Chains A and B, each alone.
Chain A
Amino acid sequence: MSHIGSYEERIKNFSWSIAEKELGYKPGDVINIGWYATDRICRQGKAAKAALIHEGFSGVERRYTYNDIRLASNTIGAFLHGLGLKNEDRVCLFMDRIPELYLGFLGILKIGAIAQPLFSAFGDESLFVRLSNAETSAVLTQKKHVFKVRKILDKLPHLKHIIIVDHDGKAPLKEREVAFSLEGSKPVEDLECFPTKAESASVLHYTSGTTGMPKGVQHVHYSLISQYLTAKWVLDLQENDIYWCTADPGWVTGTSYGIIAPFSLGVTQCVLDAGFSTEAWYRFIEKNRVSMWYSAPTAIRSLMKGGDEIVKKFDLSSLRHLASVGEPLNSEAVVWSERVFGRPFLDTYWQTETGCIVISNYPGMEVRPGSMGKPFPGVTGTILDPSRNEPYPAPGKIGLVGLKFDWPSRMRTYWRNEEAFQKKFRNNWYITGDRARMDLDGYYWFAGRDDDIINTAGHLVSPFEVESALLEHPAVAESAVVSKPDPLNLEVVKAFVTLKPGFAASKDLDLEIMNFIRKKLSPLAMPQEIEFVDSLPKTRSGKIMRRILHAKEWGEEIGDTSTLENE
């Protein structure tokens, strides 16, 4: 029997107090995610239960019980406290998916500081804008990534400590750097968690904007309530599950459902910190007897590319429930997974700003392949008519996905950018930026983005950020960045570039610019295609019309060109 039981019954009788009661929380109490995810589980008699099974690049496995993660997060928390870090300080996690990332996240929360996870493949420019905006006090990182922090250190006066978690003593530490070894530290048995309250800031995730620089999405400790309940009802995490969330905690799925939810439910989860390969993934499921698997459409499509035959080489009979997140899950992938794994991937929909799943398919509810599903009980969704910013009176039409902004894990603001936060609302509806339609039975069907943001393999890339970085290349005069359809990643980044005098288009320049962006921003932001053009379409006032370039890439109608410079 699934935890949710009947979706319709849950809708009728829903209150977030269901989660509050299960977690033993009463309004006004102290609520600290770090404590709920470790100490509380130990107090329930599960101290010896496996919490984290970690396999690294080299195939080395490390196992942690709930008591181990309690002690490890205490130890990291105490170390940070000893450096003078305190509640509300921003502490960045800039690491691969090593155990210290998961344990450090909890340690940061325990001392009341704000965890700021950043994707370890970010280049120095991406890192700089995020650390600078958050006025981050400390960075936890690895020796393989510290060189990127060193490059920008002079421009970060607020950054006081760079904590290297795997320093081996071979190279000397530099300015503001300090070594920390979890395995070499004496475990801290008792750490007094900072008495954070429901509205105390917990996590700061950066997300891409259409026109401005990345914005810090600020979450609070009360987010636990809906992260816990959505994981229980949608991911259906059960006491004996072995759970595998394939997301990197540099992104919100990796923290909401890769740390907070599974640990607060006392579930055993495993992590594979290795690059993608079909065989390695199936081997990992077989070896760990994974029963609940939360992954992403790009990964699922990559597995589909690997074919059906390879699946038969592995015993994947432990899988009992599959779900997907990050981008729309195409119906072919749903049908394929049902054929080869005996069960469909259920699509879930949410964003960094929502903090938890808000629209989803549920265990036991009819799956309509290709659909986003229905709003989670307690979440009110609608399709807004963009011309009136009011819900359509009847289903069927494509409009803006709007949500009543009132569930526990919704973002509270953009970090020091309340103006941008307020712009996310129309007529008191939170505007997700996605377009969809609703069918007669209340299922939502994704139709596309309502802005220029590029969704590549489930990660949002800002065209503005890529264009700005392109202009720093010595050969680039002007640039425009749009999405381009891609069968594997849904969309990829494409750049249109005009060159400065003295530079000529060539294959070598194309590759040089690609690598320039990859290192400066991230591999995700690297244009997978660069088109050298003589000029870019602009309005008479000189604004580049991305819309025209986007329409050409997607084979769509170009629309109104009356403001075009050369018309």
Chain B
Amino acid sequence: MEGLKDVILQYVTKEYLEDDSEPLNFDTPLISGGIVDSFSMVSLKRFLENRYNIQIPDDKATPEAFDSVNKIAVLVEEFVGKKG
């Protein structure tokens, strides 16, 4: 899973960050910080599922679990691990 956090960070930056925004880091609050709203979280979840060929159950896709790149990486690793 090398580069997992970088991949997520790049995707969030490209898709959700607006012009002139401060750059993100792995701990930047995404949901509580207003960068990704609860509806947009659905497309971020879809990206992760497509990219890593996993299924994240809706009850695991909570605003808290998606609130930073670090937290998302923990979630993805859990499901990638289960797959293996």
Contact = CB atoms under 8 A, between A and B. Distances in A.
B20 A275 contact: no
B62 A305 contact: yes
Contacts of A121: 37
A274 B64 contact: no
17 contacts: A57-B29, A96-B34, A121-B37, A147-B20, A171-B20, A275-B34, A275-B63, A279-B64, A280-B32, A456-B39, A507-B46, A511-B50, A514-B42, A514-B46, A518-B40, A524-B39, A528-B42
Contacts of A274: 32-34
Task: Identify which of B19, B34, B42, B46 gathers the most chain A CB atoms within 10 Å of its CB.
Answer: B34
Contacts of B15: 515
Contact of B64 (A96, A170, A278, A457): A278
B49 to A, nearest CB: 8
Interface in B10-35: 15, 18-21, 29-35
Contacts of B18: 144-145, 147
Contacts of B43: 511, 514-515, 518, 526
Interface string A506-535: 011011001100100001101010000000
A538 interface: no
Interface in A109-155: 121, 143-145, 147
A273 interface: yes
A562 B71 CA distance: 53
Given A305-B62, A510-B46, A144 B21 contact: yes
A523 B29 CA distance: 19
Contacts of B30: 275
A507 B37 CA distance: 22
Interface bin, chain A = 20 to 34
Contacts of B31: 275-277
Contacts of B67: 277
Contacts of B50: 507-508, 511
Interface of B: 15, 18-21, 29-40, 42-43, 46-47, 50, 59, 62-64, 67
Contacts of B62: 305
Contacts of B42: 514, 526, 528
Contacts of A277: 31-32, 63-64, 67
Contacts of A523: 37, 39-40
Interface of A: 57, 96, 121, 143-145, 147, 170-171, 273-280, 302, 305, 456-457, 507-508, 510-511, 514-515, 518, 523-524, 526, 528
Given A276-B38, A526-B40, 5 more contacts: A280-B32, A305-B62, A457-B38, A507-B50, A528-B42
A171 B21 CA distance: 12
B33 A57 contact: yes
A275 B46 contact: no
B58 to A, nearest CB: 8
B55 to A, nearest CB: 12
Nearest to B38: A276
Given A514-B43, A514-B46, A275 B36 contact: yes
Contacts of A170: 20
Q: Report, nearest first, the 8 A-B pairs whose CB atoms are least far apart.
A: A523-B39, A275-B31, A147-B19, A523-B40, A507-B50, A514-B43, A275-B32, A277-B32
Nearest to B59: A305
B39 A275 contact: no
A454 to B, nearest CB: 13
B32 to A, nearest CB: 5
B57 to A, nearest CB: 13
Given A279-B64, A305-B62, A57 B19 contact: no
A275 B19 contact: no
A275 B21 contact: no
Task: Identify which of A275, A507, A515, A524 gathers the most chain B CB atoms within 10 Å of its CB.
Answer: A275
A457 B41 CA distance: 14
Task: Identify which of B21, B64, B67 gathers the most chain A CB atoms within 10 Å of its CB.
Answer: B64
Contacts of A526: 39-40, 42-43
A508 B11 CA distance: 14
A145 to B, nearest CB: 7
Contacts of B63: 275-278, 302
Nearest to A525: B39
Contacts of A456: 39
A302 B20 CA distance: 32
